[in-house]
């Protein structure tokens, strides 16, 4: 029997669980990434060097390979590429192109929130003006009768957050105190975008939580609600240091977030597949930040099966190949209640101060620590780390589990006693989220 061919968009650490899982099912995996040294390429049967943001290039490769399915995980923009390819080739797809665009283009996304009456922060879509040539002729008539148009940036309260409309990983995000500052920062925002407009929204001081879930026949099932712990302050803004299960807001906000999650799924016409929604919780209540239709990039593919019994990755592979939901997966969805907590878990996403890496703690030593489920590095010795401006500066990750919160914090302290990012001067430059116990404390 000829195995089905699956095209995986992306070959980074985020896509490796999908590549490995598909191979274990006997599927012929083709990785697609514009970076020739992406680690997933070495694990796939074949690889294609093409940008996952370029539907035309991916379509040519997909036709040549005669693929049977296409998917991505851990990355937003390839979701749209996958939907376009699936439509063009008549392949199975969880999303229509229209829905895929709505969950990958913040202009469409935010306007959809608005039209559906869903709570989000005030925003405008702003197109920076192109500077005119210094000697461009201008008629007196045009100058005399030019109608003043309202400044869209004056519609918002300040400070505001400016973002690209089609990027992720906190690239090109800035907090601005005035309209003039927005205009000044606009070129830096557009440097991370393929569009000519940017999103400008009122800054909302808040905590952030993330919903990971699965949609089956239009019904949303929340799998986990995690706290998305970030760097303090606004520089950098929104860069995540860890995901914590269970969320501290689980008891107080579970019902409201579940209702909003289903409202988004219905309003965006999401029929099947993974969802990854981010909510802000502040003094004015819950606000929807962003939504995505993908497995999250904080290694949800590794920890969600442990917490829920639902194999998120295998189920998405089945969906991409047009296979029905497995009986075991259906049962796990039906029996799961995200309000029940049987185990505590933290996904640590650690960074380092600017330096050149001389040495990293061997992964085998990290994996041997109590409660460590998985760990990995994004960077290698010899890499020079710049000042942190977005999530791409992340050094690595570590997933730690425990029966309760106190034991979890103790285990994290043990990990960070051992884990080091040593620079060329022999100094440990590691950065991680604050811990609640010291390494010398024993769990109560």
pLDDT in tens, 146-158: 445 778 999 999 9
Task: Locate the domains of the chain by residue range.
Answer: 5-93, 122-128+153-203, 206-335, 344-431
How confident is the model at residue 392, as a pLDDT?
Answer: 86
How confident is the model at residue 130, as a pLDDT?
Answer: 58
Higher-scoring residue by pLDDT: 130, 44? 44
Question: Considering the domain 122-128+153-203 in this protein, what is its CATH number?
Answer: 3.30.1490.20
pLDDT tens digits along 42-58: 999 999 999 999 999 99
Query: Comparing 130-144, 283-297, 302-316, 382-396, which segment has the lowest mean pLDDT?
Result: 130-144
3-state secondary structure of 242: strand
Model's pTM, two decimal places? 0.92
For the segment(s) 344-431, the CATH number from 3.40.718.10, 2.60.40.1180, 3.40.47.10, 3.90.600.10 is 3.90.600.10
Torsion of CA 3, 4, 8, 14, to 10 degrees: -60
SS3 track for 165-224: CCCCCCCCCEEECCHHHHHHHHHHHHCCCCCCCEEEEECCCEEEEEEEEEEECCEEEEEE
User: Confidence band (pLDDT; 50, 70, 90) for 168?
Assistant: confident
Would you say residue 135 has pLDDT above 50? no
Structural contact between residues 276 and 77, judged by C-beta atoms closer than 8 angstroms: no
How confident is the model at residue 148, as a pLDDT?
Answer: 59
pLDDT tens digits along 214-234: 999 999 999 999 999 999 988
pLDDT tens digits along 83-94: 999 999 999 999
* The domain defined by 206-335 carries CATH number 1.10.3720.10: no
3-state secondary structure of 334: helix
How deeply is 74 buried, as exposed, middle or buried, from its count of CB atoms within 10 A (0-12, 13-18, 19+)? buried
Question: Considering the domain 5-93 in this protein, what is its CATH number?
Answer: 3.40.50.20
Would you say residue 142 has pLDDT above 60? no
């Amino acid at each position: 029997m000829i195995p089905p061919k699956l095209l995986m968009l992306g070959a980074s650490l985020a896509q490796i669980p999908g590549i490995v899982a598909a191979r274990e099912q006997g599927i012929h995996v083709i990785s697609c990434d514009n970076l020739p040294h992406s680690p997933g390429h070495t694990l796939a049967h074949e690889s294609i060097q093409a940008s996952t943001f370029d539907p035309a290039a991916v379509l040519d490769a997909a036709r040549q390979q005669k693929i049977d399915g296409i998917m991505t995980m851990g990355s937003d923009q390839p979701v749209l590429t996958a939907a376009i390819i699936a439509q063009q080739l008549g392949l199975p797809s969880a999303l229509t192109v229209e829905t895929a665009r709505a969950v990958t283009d913040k202009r469409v996304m935010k306007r959809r929130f608005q039209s559906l009456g869903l709570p989000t922060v005030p925003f405008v879509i702003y197109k920076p003006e192109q500077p005119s040539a210094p000697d461009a002729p201008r008629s007196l008539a045009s100058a005399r009768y030019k109608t003043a148009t309202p400044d869209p940036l004056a519609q918002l309260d300040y400070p505001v957050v400016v973002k690209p409309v089609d990027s992720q990983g906190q690239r090109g995000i800035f907090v601005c105190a005035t309209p003039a500052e927005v205009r000044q920062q606009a070129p830096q925002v557009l440097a991370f975008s393929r569009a000519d407009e940017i999103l400008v929204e009122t800054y909302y001081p808040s905590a952030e939580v993330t919903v990971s879930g699965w949609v089956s026949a239009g019904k949303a099932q929340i799998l986990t609600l995690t706290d998305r712990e970030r760097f303090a302050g606004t520089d950098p803004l929104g860069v995540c240091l860890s995901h914590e299960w269970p969320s501290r807001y689980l008891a107080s906000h579970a019902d409201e977030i579940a209702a909003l999650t289903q409202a988004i799924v219905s309003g965006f016409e999401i029929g099947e597949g993974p969802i990854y929604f981010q909510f802000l919780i502040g003094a004015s209540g819950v606000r929807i930040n962003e939504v995505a239709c993908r497995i999250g990039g904080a290694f949800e593919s590794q920890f969600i099966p442990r917490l829920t019994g639902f194999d998120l990755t295998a189920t998405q592979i089945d969906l991409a190949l047009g296979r029905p939901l497995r009986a075991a997966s259906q049962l796990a969805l039906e029996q799961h209640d995200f309000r029940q907590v049987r185990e505590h878990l933290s996904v640590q996403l650690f960074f380092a101060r600017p330096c050149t890496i001389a040495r990293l703690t061997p992964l085998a030593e990290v994996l041997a620590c109590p409660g460590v489920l998985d760990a990995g590095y994004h960077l290698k010795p010899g890499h020079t780390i710049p000042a942190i401006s977005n999530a791409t500066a992340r050094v690595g990750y570590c997933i730690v589990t425990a029966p309760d919160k106190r034991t979890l914090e103790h285990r994290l302290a043990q990990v960070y006693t051992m884990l080091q990012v040593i620079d060329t001067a022999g100094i440990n430059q590691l950065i991680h989220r604050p811990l609640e116990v010291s390494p010398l404390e024993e769990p109560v």
